[in-house]
Amino acid sequence: MKKKYERPVILKVQTGMMNKFGSSPYYTRKVRKDIDGVSINELTEKFGSPLFVFSETELRQRYRNLYNAFSTRYPNVTFGWSYKTNYLPAICSVLHQEGAIAEVVSEMEYDKARTLGIPGEDIIYNGPHKSLSALEKAVEAGSMVNIDHFDELFDMEKVSDKLGKQIKVGMRLNMDTGIHPQWSRFGLNLESGQALDVVKRMASTGKLILNGLHCHIGTYILEPNAYAIEIEKMIKFTYEVEEKFGYKIEYLDIGGGFPSKSKLKGTYQSPELLIPSIDEYAEKITTALYHNLKPGDFPKLYLETGRGIIDEAGYLITSIVSSKRLPDSRKAYIADGGINLLYTAFWYKYNIEIDRDVQGTNEPSIVYGPMCMNIDVIEEGTLLPPLEKGTKLILSPVGAYNVTQWMQFIEYRPNVVLISEDRQIDLIREAEDLSDISKREILPERLKLK
Ligand SMILES: *Cc1c(COP(=O)(O)O)cnc(C)c1O
């Protein structure tokens, strides 16, 4: 085959020989021709580009690894699937099949879980905004509601009055676990005594019965010991309220926050080296439980892992639509999917793989998305060989938060597919068209073009 002419460029000399760091990055590239045995070509021929692809095999495997790491160490563990991380019904259903209950942070998510057939008592309802009517609905269905602030406490008292009964509630705590910035905007602060004030109020009105504690210290937490501190403080508080007020804390919900092997921008080491294993987290967490709980005490342990389960099960296939040379001599590519689909591009640097073997030397390249907007940059500097229009880039891991935070801005949102364990490809969200955009828009009669 005749090689395609590529205009020469002048690059800083890099040693191209194999050395102690391995072979030169200028000649190595990551080529991916399939996902779970299904070729990239087949996927885009059938479902177009850009395309989100989820691996059911990876998803189930990650859930099982995580569940086993905890259930083999502690007798009473349940995972609540964090809906906001990815609430496509197919994804939620895979995790519910695996045994996860639902963890929701809004009424929309709550309704979504109920629509999927999740019983009220299998829903953990968190978040800073729960309307009075949503609280009432959740209480009547027997869901676990974790109170976030004083106004919610007062609203729950109103629900108790209305239903004419005492209500069991949990509360979200925030605390210093050595993770900074501290997420103090959610829940009630432990160290300042605010959390205790809530319990005192519960005890004095007698309308609510505290039966659970919740805390979520942040996301992408690289320090397993932060969870040990969280647990120690939660258990100390548990015994304090049990002794002082006679409550029985039935569950400790330690939230989510385990990292995925996504590379946070600005970190130097590769995620493989940086990220502790799930066993390290499980060991720290369960050791802290055994250290601090009284013998024979096994409150239910809830975990709300989102990112750590789904991120690596998701890929975005995007196609190069054009390339150009910037005035500063950098190579630039324009892809058909950008930050409209990958909101997390602001914080994370993805793995970029290409769908074919390509001739030529790698050079530092920038990858833009399709938006007519300056900030639409997927990758500010990565080594890529000369790529032709139509070449597909496979970006990963992108399974967490993108398919919920993506925006309908300028372009339609694309198809999302799930590859089953026996390589069946199921469409799990259809690409949008103009009718989706227009559906809720109203053009007043007087403004219609005659
Ligand atoms: C977002 C969220 C989670 C999931 O967090 P990850 O970092 O994705 O594991 C869990 N619990 C609560 C309350 C959340 O807001």
205 and 131 share one domain = yes
Kindly state the tokens that stand for 345.
């591009």
234 and 345 share one domain = no
Question: What is the rounded CA–CA span in Å between residue 327 and residue 277?
Answer: 44
pLDDT band, very low/low/confident/very high, at 270 (cuts 50, 70, 90): confident
Q: Omega into 89 within 30° of 0, i.e. cis?
A: no
pLDDT tens, position by position, 200-210: 999 999 999 99
pLDDT tens, position by position, 63-118: 999 999 999 999 999 999 999 999 999 999 999 999 999 999 999 999 999 999 99
376 CA from centroid of ligand 1 (Å): 26
Question: What is the rounded CA–CA span in Å between residue 252 and residue 234?
Answer: 8
Q: Which H or E run includes 159?
A: helix 150-163
Query: Is 149 or 27 the better-scoring residue by pLDDT?
Result: 149
Question: What is the rounded CA–CA span in Å between residue 198 and residue 213?
Answer: 12
pTM for the model stands at 0.93
**Structural domain ending residue among the three candidates 286, 311, 336:** 311
Kindly state the tokens that stand for 274.
């940086």
Question: What is the rounded CA–CA span in Å between residue 149 and residue 227?
Answer: 23
**Range 209-236 average pLDDT:** 96
Residue 59 has what pLDDT? 98
Q: Which range marks the domain in which residue 189 is found? A: 56-311
- For the cut 90, the answer to whether the pLDDT of residue 23 exceeds it is no
Does ligand 1 lie within 6 Å of residue 126's CB atom? yes
Question: What is the rounded CA–CA span in Å between residue 56 and residue 198?
Answer: 43
Residue 1 has what pLDDT? 64
pLDDT band, very low/low/confident/very high, at 271 (cuts 50, 70, 90): confident
Q: Average pLDDT over the chain, rounded to whole?
A: 94
Kindly state the tokens that stand for 287.
């050791």
What CATH code is carried by the domain that includes residue 408? 2.40.37.10
Nearest to 334 by CA among 303, 373, 296: 373
104 CA from centroid of ligand 1 (Å): 9
208 and 330 share one domain = no
Question: Coil, helix or strand for 122?
Answer: helix
**Structural domain ending residue among the three candidates 296, 311, 326:** 311
Does ligand 1 lie within 6 Å of residue 260's CB atom? no
**Range 336-364 average pLDDT:** 93
For ligand 1, mutation pick of 82, 129, 146 (most atoms within 8 Å of CB): 82
Does ligand 1 lie within 6 Å of residue 262's CB atom? no
The answer to whether 365 and 382 are in contact (CB under 8 A) is: yes
Q: How far apart are the first and last CA of the chain?
A: 58
Q: Which H or E run includes 351?
A: strand 351-354
271 and 148 share one domain = yes
Residue 17 has what pLDDT? 53
